[in-house]
Amino acid sequence: MPRALITGVTGQDGLYLAELLLGKGYEVFGLVRGQNNPKRELVEQQVPGVQIVTGDLTDLSSLMRAMTTAAPDEVYNLGAISFVAYSWENARLTSEVTGLGVLNMLEATRLYSGDDLSRVRFYQASSSEMFGKVQQVPQSEATLLWPRSPYGVAKVYGHYMTINYRESYGMHASSGILFNHESPRRGPEFVTRKISRAVARISLGLQDSISLGNLDAKRDWGFAGDYVDAMWRMLQAPAGDDYVVATGETHSIREYLDIAFARVGIDDWSDLVVVDPRFFRPAEVDLLIGDATKARTELGWEPQVSFPELVTMMVDADLDEQRALAGR
């Protein structure tokens, strides 16, 4: 039975990846940080087969203990401070967790592996946010990185450190440059979930309007369940490498709003959305669209959920959740 260690198991991707790996017969260990972390219960309820180990990406010795307990064949480093807007307010903390945390996890993997440095396969959760002020459209593995946020800068550090460990030590280390991926498990601070939840609440009479920032930003949005499959495929490849994972379509926040409100029978949302400068960012990533040709051809990966299906799935899940909460 193969064994996997997932950092960030309490997050959106961690939950989907744990489900995927358990379904494939893996023994799955999930790293949970902090004392009495409330999300531990979420993992235990939603993915009961996961074995919890405690540790923090900023604490190398805790990661080495986690490696010894899990004795993994595969490490998926998904843990990060992942909210871009927050990263300006907490730039140093973001650098320590999202950037240096990668080095700690690589180092824990290297030290655990001993003489056989290709023994443990390593996945790093890199991000399209690294492309920032895009230098090419669409963006591929060869596109120059130009991050626009402290989060993006930290991800660039982790990305190059992963490549460096592959090249320096011959580790099977892969970096997935994943474009935005969403789901009903997405944190409510991210724009897609913020909208799907608000649309559900507005349609049920629980909320009057929604305040948003830049409605003209464009993202290449896919479904998180499809993207964790790409992570797994990377670690089954004969050698570590870097791959862009994206749908190849881009949509604006306005298009997301159109589909989300239409799902609850509202065609004109202009009076229900308030543009609030508090949600503007010091520097914006205006247009992300990925070229996932390499993942398609070398890994056989294909996204399964379309943009309208994704929006509909999220609104429907929030309608169910809000109805259940209101009925309590």
Active-site residue list: 127, 129, 151
Query: CB under 5 to 8 A by kind: which of ligand NAP, ligand F7E, none does 217 bind?
Result: ligand F7E
Q: Nearest approach, Cβ of 131 to ligand F7E (angstroms)?
A: 9
Within residues 140-179, the interface with ligand NAP by CB under 6 A covers: 178
- Residue 213 interacts with which of ligand F7E, ligand NAP, none, CB < 5 to 8 Å by class: ligand F7E
Query: Within 176-205, which residues bind ligand NAP (CB under 6 A)?
Result: 178, 180-181, 187
Alpha-carbon distance of 316 to 263, in angstroms, equals 8
Q: How far apart are CA 58 and CA 38, in angstroms?
A: 20
Residues 6+ apart with CB under 8 A from 86: 94, 151, 189
Per DSSP, what are the bridge partners of residue 176? 125, 243
Whichever of 269 and 290 has its CB closer to ligand NAP, that residue is 290
- Token pair belonging to 311: 């929006």
Binders in 171-200 for ligand F7E, by CB under 6 A: 179-180, 189-192, 194
Distance in Å from the first CA to the final CA of the chain: 42
Q: How far is the CB of 217 from ligand F7E (least distance, A)?
A: 3
In sequence order, the 6+-apart residues with CB closer than 8 A to the CB of 8 are 14, 31, 77, 78, 79, 80, 125
Contact string 89-128 vs ligand NAP (x = CB under 6 A): --------x---------------------------x-x-
Q: In a 10 Å sphere around its CB, with 0-12 CB exposed, 13-18 middle and 19+ buried, how is residue 221 labelled?
A: buried
Binding footprint of ligand F7E on the chain (CB under 6 A) = 82, 84-85, 127-129, 179-180, 189-192, 194, 212-214, 217, 219, 253, 279, 281, 284-285
